[in-house]
Amino acid sequence: MSKLKESFRTLFGGKPGKPDPANFSDDAKVIHERQSGKRTADFKEEFGRTKETSRKNTYWRRRRWLVIIVTNLLFVLSYKLDIQMLEGALTGSRFVGFHLADLNASLQVMLAFKQVLINLLIGTVTVFIMWWLLGGRTFCSWVCPYHILAEWAEILHVKLYKKGWAKNFKFDRRTRTWLWIIFAVFAFLSGYTVYETISPTGIISRALIYGPGLALLWVTLILLFEIFFSQRAWCRYVCPIGLTYGIVGATSPMKVQYHLDSCHHDGECRKVCLVPHVLEVTKAKRADEPIVDIPADCTRCGRCVEVCPTDSLLFKFKGLGS
């Protein structure tokens, strides 16, 4: 329960807690003692060899991008060709007759109308079960069309930042939680889904299906801000959709697991992570158990799994095997 509580705390913007070494398990203490003072000297040769191989590995990134493109293309083709396979947009749709509804958009609609709409409820339950099984913020990195644009913008941002042509201002992560509450209150008081008007996820989804509009200028401004001023700012500090899915997926059986025994604490995983605070446990003498589940704010993007030179980070569906 304490692990789940800590997971929610960091999801809502709290700083990752530093565990008390006195509370480490005996197995974790043994591993920390064995690794202490020998990470650089004894692991250098092995680390250099495996690191070179792992950096060429983009297995999960290529598959994520393909899933995002194919999913959103299905919406476009269904509308353009009128084949009624995947009707609607990401905020609300029907897949071969089954209602699907984005959880955050559904919450906004129900608060705005102050009633539970039966079709919306059915679609919400279906999506809830699906994303609970996949866990974390899987929606963000595997379906959201803004995510792939922001990821491309991030690649450009990193290059410009290294040359000194861009800044990387950091904001309080609790801002996202406060905005989640504010948008919910606005919907309830105004009877209008305020966030859906400015959501880049909804704007891009509708633009792909029904054609571009002026709202794309807003998305462009967000991307430019991320490129020149703050890396992945919208996803990290603003978007309530990610917070909603993080809450839903907090208890999912699908996890990214950290294995302390094989870790060299090199920090490669934190360099590529969209939400590096979830990987604080990979720092030296931070893990209180030999195997630790990465918390709820994880997007399940697989970037840390790709770059880890020792396979210390792995996807695991708990309940299947050991």
What is the per-residue pLDDT across 100-134, written as a single tens digit (0 to 9) for each? 888 898 889 889 988 887 777 888 888 899 899 98
With beta carbons less than 8 A apart as the criterion, state whether 93 and 75 touch.
yes
Between CA 59 and CA 306 the distance in angstroms is: 7
Instruction: Give phi and psi for 281, each to the nearest 5.
Output: -65, -20
Q: Mark residue 96 as left, alpha or beta (left: phi above 0; alpha: psi -120 to 50; beta: remaining).
A: left
> Phi and psi at residue 8, in whole multiples of 5°?
-65, -40
pLDDT attached to residue 44: 55
DSSP secondary structure, 35-60, as one string: HTT-HHHHHHHHHHHHHHHHHT--HH
Ordered by start, the domain boundaries in the chain are 2-59+252-317, 61-247
For residue 249, how many C-alpha atoms fall within 13 Å in the half-sphere facing its CB?
Answer: 31
Which of 275, 173, 169 lies closest to 230 in space, CA to CA?
169
Q: Sign of dihedral through CA atoms 309, 310, 316, 321? A: positive
CA dist list (Å): 192 to 31, 112, 184, 242? 54, 5, 10, 21
The Cα 136–Cα 80 span in angstroms is: 33
What is residue 50's predicted lDDT score, i.e. its pLDDT? Answer: 52
In tens, the pLDDT along 25-65 reads 888 888 888 887 655 555 555 555 454 544 446 889 999 99
**Sign of torsion, CA 34 282 67 155?**
negative
* Letter string b/e over residues 278-291, b meaning 16 or more CB atoms within 10 A of that residue's CB: bbbbbeebbbbbee
Task: Return the C-alpha torsion angle 35, 39, 45, 49, nearest 10.
Answer: 90
What's the confidence (pLDDT) of residue 53?
Answer: 47
Q: In the chain, which residues have pLDDT < 50? A: 49, 51, 53-56, 321-322
Beta bridge partners of 254: 317
Q: Structure tokens of 317?
A: 């569906």
Residue indicated by tokens 């309080």: 172
Residue type present at position 120: L
The encoded tokens of residue 308 equal 């880890």
List, in sequence order, every residue forming a beta bridge with 6; answer none if it has no partner: none
- The DSSP code sequence of 236-252 is III-HHHHHHHHHGGG-
pLDDT at 288: 92
